[in-house]
Amino acid sequence: MLKNNEYFAGKVKSIGFDSDSAGCSASVGVMEKGEYTFSTEKPEEMTVVLGSLKVLIPGSLDWQVFMPGEKFYVPGHSEFNLQVVEPTAYLCKYLNK
């Protein structure tokens, strides 16, 4: 089943789905330029598809830039900050770890 998600007054939109073969749920979406803070329940694996993301991962003191094809991990029950300088597409896997 597909689920439409919209955050930050429509500046972040995604479609969520469950993946039986991967054993997790995921969403694919696009973010407009801006700064965002997301909260997590489960651990997440984020992959940049197009564009780039500047990320402050929980526990890190330094911002990191991720380009297409690169991944980063966010622990469950945490918050992470993003700076988006150009429209960016992403894949987010919600892990069962």
Domain ranges of the chain: 3-94
Mean pLDDT for 74-86 is 96
- CATH code for residues 3-94: 2.60.120.10
Q: What one-character DSSP code corresponds to residue 97?
A: -
Reported pTM: 0.91
Residues 6+ apart with CB under 8 A from 88: 30, 31, 48, 49, 50, 51, 52, 53
What SS3 class is residue 29? strand
Neighbouring C-alpha atoms within 13 Å toward the C-beta of 45: 11
In sequence order, the β-bridge partners of residue 69 are: none
Query: What pLDDT digit, counting tens, does each position of 5-50 carry?
Result: 999 999 999 999 987 666 779 999 999 999 999 999 999 999 999 9
The percentage of the chain sitting over the pLDDT mark of 70, rounded to a whole number, equals: 95
